[in-house]
Amino acid sequence: MITLLKIIVAGIVALFASLAFGQVEVNSELHLLLAQKDSLLFNVAFNSCNTNVLEEIFTEDFEFYHDKGGLTEGRDAFLNPMKENCAQRITTEMQPSKRILIANSLEVYPLYKNGELYGAIQHGIHRFESLDKDNCYQRGDIAKFTHVWVKENLVWKVKRELSYNHQYKQ
């Protein structure tokens, strides 16, 4: 009887611990803030090519892990090819690719140290589209992504990014 009681108590403690430290609600301030930051990140990267904003979004020691492209270490190493691509787009009038966040896939998990929020893990699924020769958008890869956001001087920045499980979906 005592063993069964211990199991029940341990189960209840585990349940409350998972609720206390799990994913935040989609209407929470943190989830809404990071959803907005995620949207800004990809809008800037794919639509407006405002690389100055991107420099503000990433930490200097940013790392990008990609299942097809490998590891990129450092904000500048990550942004320089993007700057070149944006410059080419402007001179050739190439149309941008676009990124679509899959509905209801975005999850945010807060990170605490000594009870203080210092960062968050953001996970989701997105797909990409690009224009074909007829100027029509065509579906491209669908992939999972994970961002590790940290607060630097009260400003949220991406420190690590993972892009993985790329699959072509119709």
The 10s digit of each residue's pLDDT in 43-80 is: 887 777 888 888 999 999 999 999 999 999 999 999 99
Q: Which domain holds residue 136?
A: 25-168
User: Is 8 inside a domain boundary?
Assistant: no
Backbone phi, psi, residue 28, to 5°: -75, 160
Find out whether 104 and 124 touch, Cβ atoms under 8 Å.
no
Residue 9 lies in a domain: no
Question: What integer best gives the mean pLDDT of the chain?
Answer: 84
Q: Is residue 2 part of a domain?
A: no
**Rounded (10°) CA dihedral 53, 58, 59, 60:** -70
Count of structural domains, the chain = 1
Has residue 55 been placed in a domain? yes
CATH code of the domain containing 142 = 3.10.450.50
Distance, in Å, from the CA atom of 155 to the CA atom of 170, rounded to the nearest integer, reads: 38
Res 2 pLDDT > 70: no
Q: Is residue 163 part of a domain?
A: yes
* Residue 10 is assigned to a structural domain of this protein: no
The pTM score is 0.80
Return all residues near 86 (Cβ < 8 A) that are at least 6 apart.
49, 51
